[in-house]
Amino acid sequence: MIQITNTNNQLRIVDSGRIEFYKFEEITNVAWNRSAENGYYVLVTFDSEYFLRIELSRIDNQPTWTNNLAGAQAAVIQISIWMNTAVAAITALLTAAARTPNFLRPTGSSGTITAGTFSMSFASVGTGNATVGGMILKPGETINFDAGALNNTLGAVAYDTTTIGSELIIITLT
């Protein structure tokens, strides 16, 4: 028997212990058809012109996907909903967003850049050592942190400019 699910925004098919995953964003067409020998099936076509035939008589975990016209239509509609949800989630992750730059120039104080920023930069511009994230930052040194793609964010980072002559320029993107 075959089990079909939407797992991790992918079409997951388990057939006799063999597990396969198919990316929804690569699917170009989902349709049902009827064969003379086995009844109804769903045909999934991909960008690469690869196709997948799913016989409804073999599916045992989707109760509405019965081996008849109503079941075939239910299967096509459900896979379409899964595709739409998956593509919408990927689009949301990849959608560009304006970031707000923030500037600080601490001297003679300590503090923390809170978690949730997309990037941070610390430049030691004073005559004394500053401390960033527990590491000494000597005059003239700069360190940068970037959370990477897909809306990742950084954790909190503490800084200290209480040493005489220490001063930082801190830039964050939120």
Domain residue extents for the chain? 2-94, 101-173
Are 30 and 83 in contact by the 8 Å Cβ rule? The answer is: yes
Average pLDDT, the chain: 92
Q: What is the pLDDT of residues 105-159, one digit of tens each?
A: 999 999 999 999 999 999 999 999 999 999 999 999 999 999 987 778 999 999 9
- For the segment 11-15, the average pLDDT, to the nearest whole number, is 96
Q: What is the pLDDT of residue 75?
A: 95
User: 119 pairs with which residues across the strands?
Assistant: 146, 173
Does domain 2-94 bear CATH number 2.30.29.30? Answer: yes
Q: Is the whole-model pTM more than 0.85?
A: no
Long-range contacts of the stretch 79-82 (C-beta < 8 A, 24+): 79/11, 79/27, 79/30, 79/42, 79/44, 80/30, 82/6, 82/11, 82/24
Q: What is the pLDDT of residue 56?
A: 96
The CATH class that applies to domain 101-173 reads: mainly beta
Q: What is the pLDDT of residue 37?
A: 85
